[in-house]
Amino acid sequence: MPFARTILGDVEPSSLGVVNAHDHLIRTGAGEVYLEPEHLLADVDKAVEEATSFVEASRRWAEGGTVVDMCPANCGRDAEKLAEVNRRVPGLQVIAATGFHRQRVYLETRSHWVSRYSVERIAELLVADIREGIDRHDYSGPIVERTEHKAGVIKVATSYGVITPFERKCMEAAALAAIETGCPINTHTTYGTCGLEQAQELIKLGVEPSQIAIGHIQRNADVYYLSQILETGVYLEIDGTYRIKYQPDSNRIMELRELGARGYGQRILLGTDSGKSSYQKAYGSVTGVDYNPAVDGPRMLAEGFERSYVDDLLINNGQRFFTFRREA
Ligand SMILES: [Zn+2]
């Protein structure tokens, strides 16, 4: 039976409702927080408040919604806090991640366990997060204690205009784990660079194109380039909502219109990537995790998008993408 793997168990993909394909509800510390303290999202009550507004907005479109929390290994993941958020918000489902962020987030990496272990041993750790349960200590120390909460997506990430040897090793391990478990891979690109190379590399490593989504790609608002990536058969994940310091929202809407018109509309996922407290309503911002169903959906209809296309973007594409490719 087809299934998606949420933090509270495996579910029928059609039960996911509106799918926010890249977001952040909990981050309890680690490198990103060291680099920028606004990345700290450790407060369960705030996460509950933020997720509740997402579910409320999702109910205009479906029975509820799913947040894919893209915090990967050794980056401040807390599976138990995330599961608590899930339990406290009716209508919410949460998919948790394993895998890796870009090198910079791990600060100095010469002694990091990714640099010390073989690709095969690293892949075993990712597979165990998916099959057995995420480590209570987020693979941040020598003791591993598995929670009952399994990962349902693998993160892969690259730097600005370069894939470092560290990142390439992470990518190889992620590919092995994806092939073994059928778990989807959702990536981080930095400012939308290296998206095509990520797709090509992961496919070369044997991952099915339909199992790969190239993320944050909206920052590279170049429809020709985005079409080239889509031609490899992968999905694109578009987020960065209300990130006006980088580009107006009209760029994302333009990308969605143009890519839909070119026939790629069934391979586009939406997220918000509200990964800082200043991007969340619960912490006082005007924008938040609810942006896709609350603002983007109504806007696309107002701008003349077909309702069926808006449903694909908010609901159907995400439900298909986060379905495992085999019995995990
Ligand atoms: Zn993110």
pLDDT of residue 230: 98
Q: Is residue 20 part of a domain?
A: yes
Question: In the chain, at which residue ranges do the beta strands (DSSP E only) sit?
Answer: 4-6, 9-11, 18-23, 65-69, 92-99, 151-157, 185-188, 212-214, 235-238, 268-270
**pLDDT-based confidence at 326, cuts 50/70/90?**
confident
Alpha-carbon distance of 74 to 80, in angstroms, equals 15
Number of domains in the chain: 1
Q: Which DSSP string corresponds to 271-306?
A: -----SGGG-GGGT-S--TTHIIIIIHHHHHHTT--
**Span 24-53, pLDDT tens digits:** 999 999 999 999 999 999 999 999 999 999
Instruction: Name the residue among 242, 222, 119 with its Cα closest to residue 170.
Output: 119
Mean pLDDT (the chain) is 97
Average pLDDT over every residue of 1-20: 97
Instruction: Name the residue among 148, 10, 6 with its Cα closest to residue 65.
Output: 6
Which structure tokens are listed for 107? 């600060």
| Interval between CA 285 and ligand 1 midpoint (Å) | 17
Q: Is residue 327 part of a domain?
A: no
Instruction: Name the residue among 82, 97, 106 with its Cα closest to residue 33.
Output: 106
| Interval between CA 288 and ligand 1 midpoint (Å) | 13
| Interval between CA 23 and ligand 1 midpoint (Å) | 6
3-state secondary structure of 153: strand
pLDDT of residue 327: 79
Average pLDDT over every residue of 118-135: 98
> Quick check: 328 pLDDT over 80?
no
Element (H, E) at 258: helix 249-261
- CATH number of the domain enclosing 245: 3.20.20.140
pLDDT of residue 150: 98
- Please give the residue range of the domain that contains residue 290: 4-321
**Span 73-95, pLDDT tens digits:** 999 999 999 999 999 999 999 99
Q: Is residue 172 part of a domain?
A: yes
Number of neighbouring beta carbons within 10 Å of residue 148: 13
**pLDDT-based confidence at 165, cuts 50/70/90?**
very high
| Interval between CA 219 and ligand 1 midpoint (Å) | 13
> Quick check: 285 pLDDT over 80?
yes
